[in-house]
Structure 1
């Protein structure tokens, strides 16, 4: 079977994922452009492909129309907003993903971004490289109210890490009433509506998937409800915070700052690049060696199972398809 690996990077730190594909006799093509593919790029490359080991490139209905042999999309990662699940199902293309593997790295980066924003480490670094010695006053995690939007794999891990800092005021919100509120002996966690987080939190961290319901969840309207020194963090998906409204708020110093790891269009080039009060990282939440390797391994293991006619272990759950149909 022909396997097209589009995710970038792939196999840079560990060859085991590639060796798994080689062991089942696959004909492997690794992203020949060495960058994130556009919809047009993928449409040109995908004809004749049986299995796609995918990153976050757009797997649209138009792309799937060109995928004349495609049988499996194995997503390297947790987000599914880039995949037209209903179009894949209509064409009898199976879809798997790796929901657990990236969670530890993304959660740890989130904590790092919180501390960085509270202490202005990134601005101090910039100033010192410019020859300016300035010592910023900051705050500790225990001094602030932290709002977590989304209690899935990553959001719940973030709360667990915050408990280790003895945080005394954590507000959490999730649209799924069946998701349990985390309980930790060292900190106080309260389940609230998302609007209460907007009003009361000093730090707001987003951990939800991008969907029609969450697109532009935070715009100028929500920002107006927030404290003037609030710090916004997004390590989930671009498009959840309206980037234009975020820029306007930062430029007007309406909020204290932001940390953004994910963007609506990547690689990102835009007005946020010039804002000292906005810490930017290049969608690197999952980019620890162990987590990235595990993501690649799990996706390649699914591809190998498929080739050997074995059941998939990480198929996208039915509720994801139902959410697209709603």
Structure 2
């Protein structure tokens, strides 16, 4: 079953083309990661899918109907990039207030425990740290037992421990049959959570597949070595120097190593491995003719 759908979806803000004829289906039970640089159109796409904005052209559906209808929107939980919380209310009071809008909300204690907020339930939201407020904002998306949750940069500003707590909460929801669509700049986060990755760039869908499949489509390998100087080498699509090592991205690792030997380049500690999602992401989103430097 398709729970959210976009067909030839286009959105303009004046002269700015934010989305350009995007097609996307999100099926029930999926956990989809939406990747793209700033300004790629990720947040715009989420806003259109939940009915907060109207498309310039094209169609968008939520649970088979108009996303602006309350009956459809009640089945969705959303955490936008920025969430305003009433600073004088306590965490528990905020949860109770949001819960009152739903016929069968998740119990407060269960929600707070799932997202590591139990010890903060008597704290005023105005006294929370930025990371604590973000955890609360994400937790609120799950209050109404939604069928679909859309999370826009859910772990921005969180430390490693808090981020993993949120990951566990998201996984728990998904394991129970929930559907998740999330955007993130943390590419390791998408690798850890998502089963499907949609890469957006310049307002278009550039790739839509599993993490493994995207790596395979890109076909890039990382050749890492220690060397003082390297001559120009054919087939290198990206170069990075870090911690005394040179990292070369190439479509043909075997040929690159042969070229290094033939050029009599002195090197040591050679490693060849598949790209990370980050390297694949950079390659996909780099305009033609420009090097994809990691």
Global fold match (TM > 0.5): no
Structure (1 or 2) with the greater strand fraction: 2
TM-score (norm 1): 0.28
TM-score (norm 2): 0.30
